[in-house]
Structure 1
Amino acid sequence: MAITWILVANASLARLYANLGPNKGLQLVKEIAHPESRMKNADLTSDRAGQMQAAGSGHGAREQQTPPKLNAARSFAQRLARELYMGRSRNLFARAILVAPPGFMGMLNATLDRPTAQMVTDRFEKDYTKTSEPLLCGRLESCLYV
């Protein structure tokens, strides 16, 4: 039976599980925390908004186009995509299942390379990062060989 990797993630925490076949349940492969995603926008920036010359005699302040929390979440999605890429390139799994809230799922999908994305057989747009392994098995039983 082929190994299935299950990535259960949100913007600040990810758990990577392996399912080794029928009646084997889930085995935790890796847990990755990303505390930056829990920080406030003000704590993620180094300074106040930059100064710029405004039309006329005044000055203005320029805000960042993308909020720092969004940048932190995208960075974490890229890190998780690299984990999946490395696992695929080392033949550590034959298929993958992604479980993440809708916004973060979009970031994951956008950062996966094509060969890795083709190995993803199922996607669940839910936040199951606080769900216990037995309950997670129950929630994924439709696509998991437990």
Structure 2
Amino acid sequence: WTGLGVFAALIVWGAIPFVTITVYAALAQVPQELLEAAAIDGARPWAIFREVTLPLLKPIFVILTSLSIIWDFQVFQQIWVMLDARPASDYYTMAIYAFHQSFQISEYGLGAAIAVVMVAFMFVATLVYLRQMLRTGEVH
């Protein structure tokens, strides 16, 4: 069970650069006029962040969350390599379970069904992602 924390830390560690750069770019796009107007109106720094900056960053956080869900469904190689291609069933992700069913015990139908369920989950996450991009005006 403690191994799951190691894998979670590895995956988060790999995502940190992308998330950091994306959030930094979003913060750079927050209009300074809004921040200055809130400060002139007497808002404290925490209130400015909570009431002005954070709502403007919400679409970015939704997009980052959607992308993270899509990418996390594809976690395979990290676990496969770290456990020397023999992960215990405690460490199965859907991708590893589909691979195990299909290619290690030759249950091709079950492996294919698991893959179809994965695709359905990723499709829903992609729809959420695209819907948010349409709302923010990034896609026309």
TM-score range, shorter chain: under 0.3
User: Could you state the TM-score of these two structures normalised by the residue count of structure 1?
Assistant: 0.27
Structure with more contact order per residue of length (Cα contacts < 8 Å, sep ≥ 6): 1
Larger radius of gyration: 2
User: Could you state the TM-score of these two structures normalised by the residue count of structure 2?
Assistant: 0.27
Q: Comparing both structures, which one devotes a greater share of its residues to helix?
A: 2
Q: Comparing both structures, which one devotes a greater share of its residues to strand?
A: 1
